Each structure stands twice: as C-alpha cells, then as structure tokens.
Amino acid sequence: MPKLVQKCGYICNGSAAKYMRYIATREGVEKLHGRGPVTQPQKELIERLLKDYPDTKELFEYSDYCASPTFGNASELITMALDANVHTMEAGDGYLKYIATRPRVEKRGDHGLFSDTQDVSLQDMMAEVAEHHGPVWTVILSLRREDASALGYDSAENWRTLLLQHRTRLAQAMKIPVDDFRWCAAFHDEGYHPHVHMMVWSADEKHGYLNKTGITAMRSALTNTIFQDEMHNIYVKKDLAYQDLVKQSRSAMAELIAHMESTSLDNDSIARKMVELANALSSVKGKKQYGYLPKKLKELVDAITDELALQPDVAACYQVWNDLRDKLEGYYKDKPRVHNPLSKQKEFKAIKNSIIREADCLRLELEQEEMDSTNPNANEESGEIDSTETPPKTDSAQQPIKSPAVNNHNPAVIAAVTRLLYHMGQIFRDNAMAPTSPLGLRIDSKRRKKLMAKRLALGHKADDHEEQGWQNGPSM
C-alpha cells in the first residue's frame, strides 16, 4: 500500500461552498481507542460504506481494520470514510447525521483554511466557489501517524509549504494554467492518520481536467518530496546491492569458464536450443534482431531466455531486482507489480538480441567447421581422398547444421552459452538504476518524442532495443 494515500473527488457547483465550510470548521473527533471487538452496528455501517463508496478499501484505516477488526479501528475507518466522502452525501441518507452527532473536542479557532496566503477569509472563499459554475476537485492526502510525526507533516504550516512548493506541478497535472489555479486546504490532525483536505478549481471555467495519469503524477511528486531522504537511502541501498551482485556474478562466471574448459556443458537444454536457433538463422534474411524475426523464432529466443532465468545466479539476481523495485514503486503506486518471466520483462529485452547475436556467431563457426571437414585440399594433403575425385558441392548457407545432440559439447557451443551468462550479468548491471528516479535527470517529453521519431526514421521499431555494446565476450 502506498505510504501516501491520495483520494480525488469531484463536486458540481452548488455544494462546493458547503464542503469548504465543513473542512474549514470541522472540529477534531474524540477518538474511541477501544480494543474490544467491533460491534454489530459498526459492521453494518462499514458494509454500507463499502457498498456506497468502494474506494474506501484504499484507505489506511481499512487495512488496519482488516488486520485487526477492533472497536477502535472500526471507529477510525467509519470516521475517515465519512470524512472522505462528505461532499457526495445527501441530507437524507443518514451519513450527515452521523457526522453531526459524533463526539467532538474543543475547536482550535474559527477555521483552519489556508491557501496561497496564510490569512484566508472563509466567507470570501465560500462566495468564490459558490459563484463558480465549473468543476471543483477535492483531494485528500493522508499519512500514517508515525510517518507524519517523523517527517514533520503533523502541522498545517508544513502541509501548506509542501502544497505551495508543488503548486505548478499540481496545476499541470490538472490541466489548469498556473495563473488560473485556485486552491485551498485544511489540515485534520486525526489520531492514526492525519490528513489534508484540498479543493482545487480554475478561475477560467473552461480549463481543468483530471484523469488517472494526472492523479498518479500528483501523488508521485508529493511522495518524492515527503519521503525524499528515505527514498534516497533506498536508492543507495539498491545501488550497493547491485554492485555486490555484479561482483558475485563475475566471480561465479570466472569459476564457470574454468569449469567449462575441463568438463562437459552442464545445461544440454540451452545448448540444443542455441544450435536450433543457429540453424534457423541461416534462412533469415534482413536484420537478425528480435523485432524482425518470425514469431516461431521469437518464441525460441524467449524459451532460451527463460532457460537462462532458471540458472541459480540469474534467478537470485532477478529476485533481488524485483524485490527492490517492488519496494521503490510501492511508494507511489497503488497496485503491486506483476513479476513477469524474464523473457517478458521489458527492461531485459536486450538479452534477446544478445542471444540472437551469439547464435548467429555460432552458426558461422559451425558452418566453418563443416566446410573445413569437407575441404578437399585438406583431405588431399592427408592422402585420404584421390585428388582426381570431385567432392560434392555444398552451400553452407543452405545446409543444416548437424543434429543438436552431436554439437552439445562442441567448444563453440560451450563458449556461446557461457557468453550468454556474461551478457546477462552486463544487462543486470545496466538495469541496476531506479525505475523512475525522482532524484535523477528526466528527459523532456518533447525531446523524447523527437528522439523516437529519429529512431523510427532510421528504420528502428518503436519497441526495438538496440544492441548495447556487448560486442565482446567476457574478459576475466
């Protein structure tokens, strides 16, 4: 679950002023921290809330309630669910009555509204949104108490500083010109999950649009600032982990190469598939890259990739890569990552071109061996064939390579498979950086489009990964 929960809503004109008054003047709630079991009325109300507001399941309070369905956690969930959806509620549905009659504590002042300026007139703001005939968006940002206290986001002033810092980014995410961006917010210092209610609208009613991409961009920007130090430590940890993995991989490959020099190949399956691919490439015309191969050969390359993924060193590296990536993306994405097979993971597409390149080199080596074995000059010198005999003509480009089973322990096959492990280690090293590092440089979208157009003009496919410099074998 993301460490920052963000919930976005939409208010039509007419009820925006009422919602503004609610978030600005809402009193703190007397928390019921009972450890006893949840009551039947609480269960019924929670079931109704989940039915009417399914996204209640995205709240911190819901996960706490599921983990421990106590009286106190149920109270927290009901309070936050109602608070998050008060702008959609009607007077006759029973929810507003619950809000109006629940226990409260002393007010902290007339109102808690803030905006670009600290001194905000609640009446003026309410009048502005009441006269506004365009959409008004509601945004709720929630943290766990321990995170809010540790990072300083347990006060309205720090939240205001954060929102001011990202004012331009929020306007861009919501497709509102910066000069037309209007907003206000209030901080609710809840017991377990302090949160901010924010209202946003455009001075020009023609502007403003919020979709899933915009919502993700907003949460990502805010998360990267709130958890900047913690995320930086994770990136450092990831980099160190991969440096260690690279060292282990090189050491393992050095032992593997030494072992291969004196013993037979351990993995006959990869060897057979490599020879099969080498044989098939003899009939391929044009570019020998993954994006240009027939479907059947692509499936063979995928099979080799997944066979490599079963090797202990590769499997361990890929597991660590996935674990760290899960932790990083968990900061700003709702759904957990899907762990794809290595052949389906886009960051490792480069291994496929490495496999094709090695198979093509293997094809040339094996064809050369075939030619050498049938060379009449070599045989004539040994006296094995009469010089007057004319050997049958062979076209090495069309003749199939001998049965894969015969070539499994051919030194050329062993070297090709060994180099695949080397390429795999290189690709893991190149993918050791964070997926979307908020601390690093980002390329402008227009610049990225120009570069893609240039690649397409040169004949590349949109999803074709270029060879990335692994032209030579391992240098140990």
What's the order of all strands across the beta sheet hosting 113-114?
5-11, 136-142, 195-202, 181-188, 113-114
- Split at pLDDT 50, 70, 90, the class of 181 is very high
- Same domain, residue pair 274 and 383: yes
CA 207, 11, 185, 131 torsion-angle sign: positive
- Same domain, residue pair 367 and 325: yes
More reliable by pLDDT, 368 or 476: 368
- 312 in a domain, yes or no? yes
- 475 in a domain, yes or no? no
The number of folded domains in the chain is 2
Give yes or no for residue 275 having a pLDDT over 70: yes
pTM above threshold 0.75: no
More reliable by pLDDT, 377 or 457: 457
- Same domain, residue pair 439 and 309: yes
Q: Which residue, 207, 229, 251, sits at the end of a domain?
A: 229
Token pair, residue 383, equals: 């006296």
- Same domain, residue pair 327 and 442: yes
- Same domain, residue pair 222 and 318: no
- 468 in a domain, yes or no? no
Give yes or no for residue 438 having a pLDDT over 90: no
Q: Check residue 298 and give its pLDDT.
A: 92
Q: Which residue, 212, 229, 246, sits at the end of a domain?
A: 229
Q: Which residue, 182, 207, 229, sits at the end of a domain?
A: 229
- Split at pLDDT 50, 70, 90, the class of 299 is very high
- Same domain, residue pair 430 and 413: yes
Q: Check residue 459 and give its pLDDT.
A: 65
- 148 in a domain, yes or no? yes
Residues 6+ apart with CB under 8 A from 383: none
- Same domain, residue pair 193 and 237: no
Over the stretch 12-59, which tens digit does the pLDDT of each residue have? 655 666 656 666 555 544 344 456 787 787 888 888 888 888 888 888
- 255 in a domain, yes or no? yes
- Same domain, residue pair 139 and 279: no
Range of the domain at 290: 230-457
Q: How many residues would you count in the chain?
A: 476
- 476 in a domain, yes or no? no
How many degrees, rounded to 5, is the angle at CA 92 between CA 89 and CA 95?
50
- Same domain, residue pair 235 and 220: no
Q: Which one-letter DSSP state was computed for residue 197?
A: E
- 332 in a domain, yes or no? yes
- 441 in a domain, yes or no? yes
- Same domain, residue pair 281 and 383: yes
Give yes or no for residue 340 having a pLDDT over 80: yes
- Same domain, residue pair 252 and 224: no
Over the stretch 343-374, which tens digit does the pLDDT of each residue have? 898 888 888 888 998 888 888 888 777 777 77
- Same domain, residue pair 241 and 367: yes
